Amino acid sequence: MEHTLSLTKQKATRPTMADRLQRWLPKIVMAPTMLVTVVCIYGFMLWTFYLSLTNSRFLPSFNFAGLLQYEKLLDNDRWVTSVTNLGIFGLMFMLIAIVLGVALAILLDQNIRQEGAIRTIYLYPMALSFIVTGTAWKWILNPGLGIEKLMHDWGFTDFQFNWLVSQDMAIYTVVIAAVWQSSGFVMAMFLAGLRGIDSSIIKAAQMDGASMPAIYWKIILPCLRPVFFSAVIITSHIAIKSFDLVTALTAGGPGYSSDLPALFMYAHSFTRGQLGLGAASAMMMLAGVLAILVPYLYSELREKQS
């Protein structure tokens, strides 16, 4: 308030100065955050790219090494494993979380009693840190402590559920934990979307004699297209940046069978003194993010124009 007051006073005396100030004020106000963003995000991105082209080991070095680090990376068994894992984990997590989220949202949309309470119960896992989720599921899935032992204690001695300690299946336990945590959140997004749909369309369809499943399949779900899009973007970025969940749940093990690119990057940059290789893996991850983000931004911008 004081600012505007002083501005108007100035305007009375020297109009040109105030005009100029008014024109520049938004830019000046935005400048610090802009500077921080440009330096700390885009600047460091370029810096990482530069590092990935050097032979940096322990500390950053400036000896240009061409694409050596990328060659090393593609030749690295552990990197190949971690990228494959990201593919398995990312796709399964997104698919299951969205299908489950939509299903829960539709069920919850049937005007049931105590909806608020149920919604909160489903949404609540999202309030936990992935570290907590990982640790809890580590106990639940451990054959000697969790589900398998429980079933054995109940007399089902043939029951086997040892995914957590099996090299082939460990990555799927990560999917289970991530789905458990995130599907409630996806549900909340879709529930909001469902509430936003004009009920007169549904009533009109009902008048025409359409069955409830047909209405959902042909009318409501297509209307939720933008929500699907946001859900994909959000879950995919949860998948790509996933680090804490795996760290707490399997620590990339057994062996490195449930390793993910983020874990690979951290291990090589910060504990193994392979900054160059770590930077190269970070750039590969960035490329993955861009591959999703660019089409999304493109479609968003095109929609706005039309």
Partner 1 sequence: MKKQRTSAQKQSVFKKSLLAITFAAATSVTHAGEVEVLHWWTSGGEAKSAAVLKQMLENQGDSWKDFAVAGGGGESAMTVLKTRAVSGNPPSAAQIKGHDIQEWGDLGFLTSLDDVAKAGHWDDILPSVVTKVMKYDGDYVAVPVNVHRVNWLWANPEVFKKAGTSVPTNMKEFFAAADKIKAAGFIPLAHGGQPWQDATLFEAVALDVLGSEDYNKAFVDLDMKVLSGPKMVETFATFQRIHNYIDDNSPGRDWNIATNMVIYGEAAMQIMGDWAKGEFAAAGKTPGQDYICAPAPGTANQFTFNIDSFAFFKLSNQDNQVAQKHLAKTILDKDFQEVFNLNKGSIPVRLDMNMDKFDKCALDSMSTFKASAKTGDLVPSMAHGLATTSYVQGAIFDVVTNFFNDRSADPKQAAQQLARAVKAAL
Interface residue list for partner 1 (CB under 8 A): 57-59, 72, 75-78, 138, 142-145, 162, 164-165, 167, 170, 250-251, 253-257, 267-268, 270-274
Give the span between the Cα atoms of 96 and 101, in whole angstroms.
Answer: 8
Q: C-beta of 168: minimal distance to partner 1 in Å?
A: 9
Helix (H) / strand (E) containing 75: none
CB 164 within 8 A of CB 158: no
**Is it true that the peptide bond before 254 is cis, omega within 30 degrees of 0?**
yes
- Shorter beta-carbon distance to partner 1: residue 79 or 216: 79
Give the span between the Cα atoms of 48 and 54, in whole angstroms.
Answer: 10
- Shorter beta-carbon distance to partner 1: residue 274 or 281: 274
- Answer positive or negative: Cα dihedral of 279, 283, 288, 294: positive
- Shorter beta-carbon distance to partner 1: residue 40 or 294: 40
Q: C-beta of 139: minimal distance to partner 1 in Å?
A: 11
- Shorter beta-carbon distance to partner 1: residue 182 or 257: 257
Q: C-beta of 59: minimal distance to partner 1 in Å?
A: 6
- Shorter beta-carbon distance to partner 1: residue 138 or 224: 138
The SS3 of residue 64 is strand
Helix (H) / strand (E) containing 219: none
- Shorter beta-carbon distance to partner 1: residue 220 or 249: 249
The SS3 of residue 252 is coil
Give the span between the Cα atoms of 19 and 254, in whole angstroms.
Answer: 66
Q: C-beta of 182: minimal distance to partner 1 in Å?
A: 23
Please choose, from the candidates 260, 236, 235, 265, the residue with its C-alpha nearest in 3D space to the C-alpha of residue 247: 260
Q: C-beta of 271: minimal distance to partner 1 in Å?
A: 5
Give the span between the Cα atoms of 244 and 305, in whole angstroms.
Answer: 39
E-state strands within the chain:
none
Q: C-beta of 63: minimal distance to partner 1 in Å?
A: 14
- Shorter beta-carbon distance to partner 1: residue 104 or 275: 275
Q: C-beta of 252: minimal distance to partner 1 in Å?
A: 8
Give the span between the Cα atoms of 44 and 38, in whole angstroms.
Answer: 9
